Amino acid sequence: MTAIVENKPAYDGKELDLSGKSGARAFKNVLATVLIVAAFVIALIPLIWILWTVVSKGYHLLLSADWWSQSQRGVTVRREGGGAYHAIMGTLIMALITAVIAVPIAVLGAVYLVEYGKGTKAARAVSFMVDILTGVPSIVAALFIYAVWITIFGFNRVGFAVSLALVLLMLPVVLRSTEEMLKLVPDELREASYALGVPKWKTILKVVVPTAFGGIVTGVMLGLARVMGETAPLLILVGYSKNINLNPFDGFMGALPTMINQDRTELALQPAADRVWSAALTLILLVLALNLLARLVARFSTIKSK
């Protein structure tokens, strides 16, 4: 086998240019790098600014146990004291009801679009409607529920009505993200399951959805984060109450966005201003806590890799 290289050709003497980047290319490279880093920093500035302002102005009220256990009952704008318990619970209760209604509809809708309806007229219609719903401003959703819940059915302004309006806002967010996650599940996995004689519905339930589970949970969290900060439906569909009310079907309810709104007009007064910043920080922390919780759920629901 060593004889193969007998007629080794001579070097042709031409030297190739391997010297690398030319001046113009090096300049473009630096320019692009600077632009990209600058864009990143500019995007970061408002984020850090907001976080810094909210944390530095809002943290001290959060350190007291009262903040987490008391309501604002009987506390006027000029007085210090009281807490955000009523608003935290109100926000959580309304968000929970919203999620309980919106998530099943959104996930089942996404399953229909990806697994059953693909390419059909019905699926295109649903998809189009979801796009429209995505663009509906929160105040329009709130007024729609007002028209149905209060004008037509004659019910009162209660927390549940807010949840209904929030469903309209959460549904398209969760449906779209779930749809994207289901699309990412490779067809090979579906075929592997079919080849074992597993029916389609069971394939979706036991193979497709579990594979996409982490992504679906993230989508639900994005949706929740969006609706927990919504203010218009709260203003229109339930009055702000300084008292603790845990019943979404009766009476006004506190919520963090409306608590911020309540004291917003009195920012010249220190106790009111403090409460505004603290309520804002609490809302951010609440969303963050839910996010972490969801990540834990997603992690424990899949098996650990090595």
Partner 1 sequence: MAKRIEVSGLNVYYGDFKAVEDVSMTIEPRSVTAFIGPSGCGKSTYLRTLNRMHEVIPGARVEGKVLLDQQDLYATGVDPVAVRRVVGMVFQRPNPFPTMSIFDNVASGLKLNGVKDRKKLTEVVEASLKGANLWNEVKDRLDKPGAGLSGGQQQRLCIARAIAVEPEVILMDEPCSALDPISTLAIEDLIEKLKDKFTVVIVTHNMQQAARVSDQTAFFNLAATGKPGRLIEMAATKQIFSNPTEKATEDYITGRFG
Q: Which residues bind partner 1 (CB under 8 A)?
A: 118-119, 186-200, 202-203, 206-207, 210-211, 213, 302-306
Cβ of residue 189: shortest distance to partner 1, in angstroms?
6
Cβ of residue 110: shortest distance to partner 1, in angstroms?
18
Residue whose CB is less far from partner 1, 53 or 301 = 301
Residue whose CB is less far from partner 1, 44 or 184 = 184
Q: Give yes or no for a contact between 277 and 57, defined as CB atoms under 8 angstroms apart.
A: yes
Cβ of residue 118: shortest distance to partner 1, in angstroms?
8
Cβ of residue 209: shortest distance to partner 1, in angstroms?
10
Q: Which of 129, 90, 122, 105 is nearest to 230 (CA)?
A: 90
Residue whose CB is less far from partner 1, 21 or 200 = 200
Cβ of residue 196: shortest distance to partner 1, in angstroms?
4
Residue whose CB is less far from partner 1, 191 or 250 = 191
Cβ of residue 188: shortest distance to partner 1, in angstroms?
4
DSSP states of the chain: -GGGGTTPPPP--PPP------HHHHHHHHHHHHHHHHHHHHHHHHHHHHHHHHHHHHHHHHTSHHHHH---TT--TTS----SHHHHHHHHHHHHHHHHHHHHHHHHHHHIIIII-TTSHHHHHHHHHHHHHHT--HHHHHHHHIIIIIIIS-----HHHHHHHHHHHHHHHHHHHHHHHHHHS-HHHHHHHHHTT--HHHHIIIIIHHHHHHHHHHHHHHHHHHHHT--HHHHHHS---SS----TTSS----HHHHHHHHHTTTTSHHHHHHHHHHHHHHHHHHHHHHHHHHHHHHHHSPPP-
Residue whose CB is less far from partner 1, 94 or 114 = 114
Residue whose CB is less far from partner 1, 88 or 208 = 208
Cβ of residue 40: shortest distance to partner 1, in angstroms?
32
Residue whose CB is less far from partner 1, 198 or 273 = 198
Angstrom distance (rounded) from CA 178 to CA 114: 10
